[in-house]
Homo-oligomer: A and B are copies of this chain.
Amino acid sequence: MGYRVGIVGATGAVGQELLRVLERRRFPVAELRLFASARSAGRRLGFAGEELVVEPLSAAALRGLELVLSSAGAEVARAVAPAAAAAGALVVDNSSAFRMEPAVPLVVPEINPEAARAHRGILANPNCTTIIALMAVAPLHREAALERMVVASYQAASGAGARALAELQAQLAAAVAGEPLPPPVVLPHPLAHNVIPQVDVFLEDGYTREEHKIARETRKILGLPELRVSATCVRVPVPRAHSVALHLEFREPLLPERARAILAGAPGVELVDEPQAGRYPMPRSASGCDLVQVGRIRADASHPRGLVLWAVGDQLLKGAALNAVQIAELVLALEPEPA
């Protein structure tokens, strides 16, 4: 019993996590097929005790699948997802290709599960930083009506893919050995001993596409087309887990104590907020965790209805693979296991 499942981009950082998440959540898989670019085809990846050979991706290759979890780039997604959906597969796509299409639901199951109902075969997984921020913000918005969100991010190397992580590790090894750093190939500058205030490309207005994604996807997920959002996205020399400093403004007053109580009961969230005891969210403690950690909750000293908080989540799990599998579970009406 189970579904015929395909993973597109199976050898990438998110693809490999998809395999682990399916295993770990005992997703009912009747058959699993793995796809990647011609370069990676032929590699073998383990799943549930078996070795699977990665196949070269083509639109035709996806025929017959009931569920496609895609973590390839936007261009590849545009080339294969519509055909797979037309052939009857449910497609959960992790790229930015379809996120802003009005007919495609953009879903975080804990936040807007109702949006999934309207799908026509393709559902989009939001941007990783957006998911992590909104896991903290959405429960508070329901209480006090969000009016403005100012975000500064601290994004991990693996958010730019497995090769970016390898690049950081090679640079750190060289730095520790006192040798010249190998030149950056994946990231725009050396990340070791540095922070880079650029994630994705720059647009006309001076924001990056990543910063735009946070604004636009937040509006769509929360159903707030007029929400005011401003983000500064920064890459930091951390292997895994994205952090965000959130300065929020609400229509209604919201005391930190009330926010803490709300987040303590929010699904998918772990409240880590005992700063005096040195307990707050950090990439080291959030890496490998399904839950998004939220802490440092305080009244904003600069705004009468403002709240400041700090959230950290594993961008390969809740920011990508886990959320995608949760979307599939939601749409396939499976009972997800408790996180």
How far is it, in angstroms, between the C-alpha of A197 and the C-alpha of B312 when the chains are bound? 11
- Please state if B194 and A302 are interface contacts (CB–CB under 8 Å): no
In the complex this chain forms, how many copies of it are found?
2
How far is it, in angstroms, between the C-alpha of A112 and the C-alpha of B295 when the chains are bound? 37
How far is it, in angstroms, between the C-alpha of A245 and the C-alpha of B231 when the chains are bound? 9
Q: Which residue of chain B has the shortest Cβ distance to A280 in the bound complex?
A: B197
Chain A interface residues (CB < 8 Å from chain B):
148-150, 152, 154, 169, 172-173, 175-176, 188-190, 193-198, 202, 205-207, 215, 228-230, 232, 234, 236-239, 243, 245, 247, 256, 275-276, 278, 280-284, 295-303, 306, 308, 310
- B195, B206, B283: the one contacting A193 at CB < 8 Å is B283
Contacts of A280 in B (CB 8 A): 197-198
The minimal Cβ–Cβ distance linking A337 to chain B, given in whole angstroms, is 29
How far is it, in angstroms, between the C-alpha of A243 and the C-alpha of B237 when the chains are bound? 14
- B149, B176, B236: the one contacting A154 at CB < 8 Å is B236
Given the interface contacts A173-B176, A282-B189, A308-B232, does A195 sit within 8 Å of B238 by beta carbon? yes
The minimal Cβ–Cβ distance linking A155 to chain B, given in whole angstroms, is 10
How far is it, in angstroms, between the C-alpha of A25 and the C-alpha of B190 when the chains are bound? 31
How far is it, in angstroms, between the C-alpha of A150 and the C-alpha of B243 when the chains are bound? 17
The minimal Cβ–Cβ distance linking A64 to chain B, given in whole angstroms, is 42
Q: Which residue of chain B has the shortest Cβ distance to A249 in the bound complex?
A: B302
14 examples of A-B residue contacts, CB within 8 angstroms = A148-B302, A150-B150, A152-B232, A154-B236, A169-B176, A195-B283, A196-B282, A197-B295, A205-B298, A206-B297, A206-B299, A234-B243, A236-B237, A237-B238
- B202, B245, B275: the one contacting A206 at CB < 8 Å is B275
Contacts of A299 in B (CB 8 A): 205-206
- B197, B215, B284, B300: the one contacting A281 at CB < 8 Å is B197
